[in-house]
Amino acid sequence: MPSFGGLADTFQQLADWSNGLALSLTKLTDPAPDADTMPVYMLEMVPCGNGWILACWNEVPSTDGSITSVSKDSIVGAPQVHMNEVVENSIPGYATYFWVIPEKNVVASIKFRDFTTGLKAMSDYAYDFLALESKYAIDAVDAEGQSYIAGYTDKGDNIATAAKPKFQLVTFNKKGRRAYLLENHAKIKKVLRVGRVTLENVVDRTTFQSLVRFIRGDLTRNSDVEVGVHSARVELQYTPTEEELKAMIEADDADDDGSRWEDLGFELNGEGSTIWLNRSRASDTFALNVELGASGVVKTEMLAQALNAQRDQILQLLEDA
């Protein structure tokens, strides 16, 4: 539990701070020159039940007022690249949407078509807000007249406490399948993993021990060597101990990649179907009554109404299976 603050408090402050603010002023930080990220802006934030719909704008790179695209009819090795002019005084990018549900302590990412969720960018944005603009941040000025944050307090004074800002989201996993596997670990006859492996030490990875380490998700990679990465599916006749199974589940939960190529499955004696861990994550597809244009931007108030209309059905995903 936080010393002070929390999900509802953070997003209420964010809503209050951004209300009526020029979009350009909602950019909290400029990424470092070597960072593989781009600025994030607040597009809109509207109430949704006891929570909010948060819309972010994720900037994409541009060069001299233009963004690049490549012709899909290009031949590999001879790309036809086009420069598309960006409207003056506008920010090229794409929108991402999130449903903040404080009473469930949940933030749901809402993905339309094949657009990215932008979850990490939003999480970083929320952290930056806590660190720089929240009511807990103590503003100070150094001897050279430069502003800085001297610390954080919830006392309403300028005396810093030991508290530090933190905002972290983890994947919500239904516990039912995990509990069932732990209770029936002795019935496991086969462990399956689909994932990514590198081409280094190919022969060694055919050994039993290497396969077991891949199954458990703890194969190490040589970070000093750049190697090819390929998808692989490994099936192993293997009955893990309870401690080994716990270690597998912990390693799987620690990987928030979200890729369909990262999953761990189990076949049990007497059962016909495979139990997959990542497919127990709380996600599904719903038909929402919203208008989605070619820009990928939706009306947030309409989105809030659509989500409220299916609230009970959607939140059923959080129940154990």
More confident residue, 8 or 238: 8
Could you tell me if 27 and 137 lie in one domain? Answer: yes
Could you tell me if 133 and 266 lie in one domain? Answer: no
- The confidence band for 73, taking pLDDT boundaries of 50, 70 and 90, is very high
Q: How many helices (H) and strands (E) does the chain have?
A: 7, 12
Could you tell me if 182 and 266 lie in one domain? Answer: yes
Could you tell me if 189 and 264 lie in one domain? Answer: yes
Q: Are strands 229-237 and 188-198 parallel, antiparallel or unpaired?
A: antiparallel
| Residue 309, helix vs strand vs coil | helix
Which of 134-143, 219-228, 308-317 is modeled with the greatest confidence?
134-143
Could you tell me if 126 and 243 lie in one domain? Answer: no
According to the model, what pLDDT value does residue 83 have? 92
Segment 17-45 mean pLDDT:
92
Per the domain annotation, does 58 fall within a domain?
yes
Per the domain annotation, does 114 fall within a domain?
yes
Per the domain annotation, does 99 fall within a domain?
yes
Could you tell me if 87 and 129 lie in one domain? Answer: yes
- Per DSSP, 25 falls in state G
10 Å CB burial of residue 50 (0-12, 13-18, 19+) is exposed
Per the domain annotation, does 16 fall within a domain?
yes
- Per DSSP, 245 falls in state H
Per the domain annotation, does 133 fall within a domain?
yes
Per the domain annotation, does 142 fall within a domain?
yes
According to the model, what pLDDT value does residue 225 have? 36
User: Whole-model pTM?
Assistant: 0.71
Structural domain total, the chain:
2
Could you tell me if 272 and 187 lie in one domain? Answer: yes
Please state, as a whole number, how many other Cβ atoms lie within 10 Å of the Cβ of residue 187.
14
Alpha-carbon span 119 to 108, nearest angstrom: 9
Q: How far is CA 147 from CA 62, 132, 153, in A?
A: 30, 11, 17
Could you tell me if 28 and 164 lie in one domain? Answer: yes
Name beta bridge partners: 46.
53
Tens digit of each residue's pLDDT (9 = 90 or more) over 245-259 = 888 887 776 655 444
Per the domain annotation, does 105 fall within a domain?
yes
208-225: buried (b, 16+ CB within 10 Å) or exposed (e) per residue? eebbbebbbbebeeeeee
Could you tell me if 252 and 298 lie in one domain? Answer: no
More confident residue, 286 or 127: 127
Could you tell me if 180 and 164 lie in one domain? Answer: no
Could you tell me if 148 and 208 lie in one domain? Answer: no
According to the model, what pLDDT value does residue 279 have? 60
Which of 84-88, 256-260, 276-280 is modeled with the greatest confidence?
84-88
Alpha-carbon span 253 to 170, nearest angstrom: 9
Tens digit of each residue's pLDDT (9 = 90 or more) over 195-246 = 655 444 343 444 445 555 655 555 444 433 334 445 567 788 888 889 888 8
Domain, as residue range, for 238: 175-280
Per the domain annotation, does 236 fall within a domain?
yes
Could you tell me if 226 and 257 lie in one domain? Answer: yes
